[in-house]
């Protein structure tokens, strides 16, 4: 649970510990530790919930060990600068620009990718009881990288995540991330996104006349149409709408 205050102050308790929150400071705690709140006059607060299971999976994949009993994040985080400030922007973008957008259906691919990415960013950037204990990632063989690549290409249209790619290769997420950089100068998520971009282009140039660019983009996990169009043009040198129009004018499509 991620809490922050906008205008005044309030005190949130976790067990016997009281955390005074003012603008610019956020509290990160687990639901089972939250025990009470004292709200100041004029308080305008905001909060987010992150699934415990997703955070635990990110911890296991990052530190290659079981989550120890008593694990917890540092409770207070600065929102004027640093990683918590950037994570807050990411949460608000997902809530305000994606989930709250009328008429925008967030696909299972996008949901799975966002949740895994966000939790990995949390455990790899915020302070917690395992911080500082992250040794060098293990080296893996090129054949294991190939397994991850083959799995990603075969299942790109499904809501797979980096964890799934790592499992297919038989390595940890952290090892896969490290060795993708070493062998490919890329990240697993960037590679998966590129494959999905190629899949979207294939569907656009072969599209049925009743399909739209937005529908095809959403099918491949791209929820922000403007950003999808920018990435599409950068990768292929044309806009998705232009390619769709060419498809409509292809022989046999004329009405």
Q: Can you give the residue range of the structural domain that contains 67?
A: 2-125
Q: Tell me what pLDDT residue 250 has.
A: 55
In this prediction, residue 149 carries a pLDDT of 95
In a domain? residue 66: yes
Total length of the chain? 255
Query: Would 179 be classed as within a structural domain?
Result: no
Q: What is the pLDDT along the chain (255 residues), one digit of tens a residue?
A: 888 888 888 888 877 888 888 899 998 988 887 788 888 888 888 888 898 889 988 888 888 777 888 888 999 999 988 899 999 999 988 888 777 766 666 677 778 888 888 999 999 899 998 887 655 567 788 899 999 999 999 999 898 888 899 999 998 888 898 899 888 899 998 999 999 999 999 999 988 878 899 889 988 988 888 889 999 999 999 999 998 877 655 555 544
| CA distance readout (Å), 33 to 27, 71, 72, 75, 113 | 12, 12, 10, 11, 28
What is the total count of domains within the chain? 1
Residue 165 included in any domain: no
pTM of the model: 0.65
202 in a structural domain: no
The reported pLDDT for the residue numbered 254 is 44
Q: Residue 104: what pLDDT?
A: 60
| Cβ–Cβ < 8 Å for 21, 12 | yes
In SS3 terms, 219-233 reads as: HCCCCCHHHHHHHHH
Question: Is residue 17, in this structure, part of any structural domain at all?
Answer: yes
- Across the strands, what pairs with 39? 10
211 is a domain residue: no
Asked if residue 116 is part of any domain, the answer here is yes
Cα 200 to Cα 206: distance, rounded to the nearest angstrom: 10
């Amino acid at each position: 649970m991620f809490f922050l205050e906008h205008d005044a102050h309030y005190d949130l308790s976790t067990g016997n510990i009281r955390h005074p929150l003012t603008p610019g400071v956020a509290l990160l705690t687990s639901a089972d530790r939250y025990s009470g709140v004292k709200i100041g006059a004029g308080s305008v607060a905001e909060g987010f919930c992150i699934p415990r299971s997703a955070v635990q999976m990110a911890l296991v994949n990052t530190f290659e060990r079981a989550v120890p009993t008593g694990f917890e994040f540092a409770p207070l985080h600065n929102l004027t600068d640093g990683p918590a400030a950037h994570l807050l922007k990411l949460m608000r973008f997902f809530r305000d620009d994606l989930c709250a957008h009328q008429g925008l259906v967030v696909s299972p691919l996008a949901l799975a990718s966002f949740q895994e990415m966000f939790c990995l960013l949390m455990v790899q950037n915020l302070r917690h009881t395992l911080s500082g204990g992250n040794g060098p990632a293990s080296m893996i063989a090129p054949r294991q990288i190939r397994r991850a690549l083959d799995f990603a290409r075969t299942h790109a249209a499904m809501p797979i995540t980096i964890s799934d790619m790592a499992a297919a290769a038989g390595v940890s997420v952290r090892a896969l991330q490290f060795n993708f950089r070493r062998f490919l100068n890329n990240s697993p998520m960037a590679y998966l996104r590129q494959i999905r971009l190629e899949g979207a282009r294939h569907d656009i140039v072969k599209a049925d006349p009743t399909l739209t660019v937005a529908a095809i983009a959403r099918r491949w996990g791209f929820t922000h149409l403007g950003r999808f169009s920018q990435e599409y043009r950068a990768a292929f040198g044309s806009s998705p709408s232009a390619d769709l129009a060419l498809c409509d004018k292809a022989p046999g499509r004329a009405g």
